Structure 1
Amino acid sequence: MFAVSYPHIEKLPDHPARLQRLPRIRVAQIVMDYLAYGWSVEEMCRQHPYLRPAEAYAAMGYYFDYQAEIDGEIEQEWQQYQSDRLNTPRSPFYIRLKGKGLL
């Protein structure tokens, strides 16, 4: 079996896969644009000018090889968002607008 290398991608044990040049950008974030909007790599690079085509292609290649891992990461993030949304009180601004029928 051959080992596959993903240039531009860094994957440390027990951490999400990330871009080497921009370690705050996770592969899952790039994949979410693909899943949510159906964007091609070229469109992702137009929407995010800091993203290089080679990085986006590497991220998508990683995703298709490790789809279950990335899908699990996205699902976990979605569950965390839902939990936070339900357990966080609404801002006074939101409550005021809702009371005036503006929302």
Structure 2
Amino acid sequence: MLLPISYPHLEKSGDRPAHLKRLPRIRVAQIVMDYLTHGWSVDEICHQHPYLHPAEAHAAMTYYFDHPAEIETEIQQEFLQVQQLRTNATPSRFLARIRAEGRL
């Protein structure tokens, strides 16, 4: 008989992204992005984000390794959303000026 896996420091309900129980605004994907983009270990992630407890960061990474497609899809969707927002954003006056001057 297989026992369900529990992640004591995380919450995952319905379609909502997995996140920390203690800090619900911190999603697993945010922690994983530090691992993927910077190659940081759990110790380094906790050093860079001192509000994280090591057990929380380990739980996030464990969840990622158990559910890579879910977390990578979440990261990809967030990336596409940021790209769309950048495309639709009105450029700042500074950016418009340096473009008009031909410096960009």
* TM-score with structure 1 setting the length: 0.93
Distance in 2, Cα, partners of 1:99 & 1:47: 39
5+ unaligned residues in a row in structure 2: which ranges?
none
- State the identity as a percent: 61
Name 1:46's counterpart in structure 2.
47
Moved over 4 A (4+): 100-103
How many residue pairs were aligned?
103
Aligned to 1:65: 66
Shift of 1:98: 3.6
The alpha-carbon deviation at position 100 of structure 1 amounts to 4.3
Determine the C-alpha separation between the residues in 2 that align with 1:53 and 1:37.
18
Question: Is residue 20 of structure 2 the alignment partner of residue 19 of structure 1?
Answer: yes
Equivalent-residue separation in structure 2 for 1:9 and 1:58 (angstroms):
7
Code of the aligned partner of 1:79 = L
- TM-score, normalised via structure 2 length: 0.93
1:37 aligns with 2:38: yes
* Whole-angstrom CA distance in 2 between matches of 1:22 and 1:97: 41
